[in-house]
Amino acid sequence: MEKALENLSKEDLIKVVSSRDQEIDYLKSQLAMYKRMQFGQSRERFEGDPNQTMLPFEAEPAEVVQQQEEIKEKIEYVRKRPHHKGRAKLPEHLPVEEVEIHPEGDLSEMVCIGKEITEELECEPAKFYIKRYIRYKYAAKNGDGVSIAGLPERVIDKGIPGAGLLAMILTAKYMDHLPLYRQKQMFARENIQIPSSTIEGWTKQALEKLEPLYEQLVFDTKTKGYL
């Protein structure tokens, strides 16, 4: 190092000395600040020195760099902490079944001052029922014929399944990928015994009813240039 300094010019030596002086001043100010932080009164801590001399370059002592990295990690940790959004709101379009619960015992000498509400999402299993069409027959008093109302249009003529049941079967099979044999098991749990061949026949006839709608959708798609 001494031989290297001997080869420097006077101006370069002045620059080196000046730089060393600035570095010494910087380290002294840092040391004084750390002493105040460690041993000074609480009101004196963390107060910057307005007369502190800054180096013209970015190099800092290793301890200072390490402390800054630790502070940076703490700040980033605080910023990145997950924010819990709380419980999701229940859909507003669902019907509500209210269950009122009052305290047990004699409430005649008490006054209601409020209430607490707790909500939970519930589900009823598929409800099967029998739709019975009762058509009354009328006969003319003069014996001139009998009159009876006609049945509403049905998906499967003279068949057992209603439109709602067929819609459920098709939706479960083609939208929810639930095979027919599993749907048969669902019916059995409700004590409704339906042979597999019968369910397959219902499905086939229901799809035949939907064939014209499918053809129309294909025609509209082609004519509008989507394909």
- Is 64 in contact with 30 (CB distance < 8 Å)? yes
As a whole-number percent, the residues of the chain with pLDDT over 90 amount to 52
With a pLDDT cut of 70, the percent of the chain lying above it is 75
Judged against a pLDDT cut of 90, whether residue 104 lies above it is answered with: yes
Is the per-residue pLDDT at 59 higher than 60? no
Q: What is the pLDDT of residue 82?
A: 63
Whether the pTM exceeds 0.75: the reply is no
- pLDDT at residue 58, as a whole number: 47
- Radius of gyration, CA atoms only, the chain: 43
Q: Which helix H or strand E contains 205, and what residues bound it?
A: helix 196-223
User: Over 60: is that where the pLDDT of 50 sits?
Assistant: no
Question: Cα separation of 204 and 195, whole Å?
Answer: 15
Amino acid identity at 138? Y
Q: Is the pLDDT reported for residue 110 higher than 90? A: yes
What confidence category does residue 174 fall into, taking pLDDT thresholds of 50, 70 and 90? very high
Task: Please report the pLDDT score of residue 136 as a whole number.
Answer: 94
57 pLDDT exceeds 50?
A: no
Phi then psi for residue 50, to 5 deg, are -65, -20
Tens digits of per-residue pLDDT, 191-207?
999 999 999 999 999 99
Tell me: pLDDT of 32 over 50.
yes
Contact 155, 206 (CB under 8 A): yes
DSSP three-state, residue 24: helix
Contacts (Cβ under 8 Å, ≥6 apart) of 180: 169, 173, 196, 199, 200, 203
Which phi and psi angles does 166 have, rounded to 5°? -65, -40
String of DSSP letters for 136-171: -EEE-TTS--EEEPPPPP-SSTT-S--HHHHHHHHH
Q: Given this model, what pLDDT does residue 10 score?
A: 73
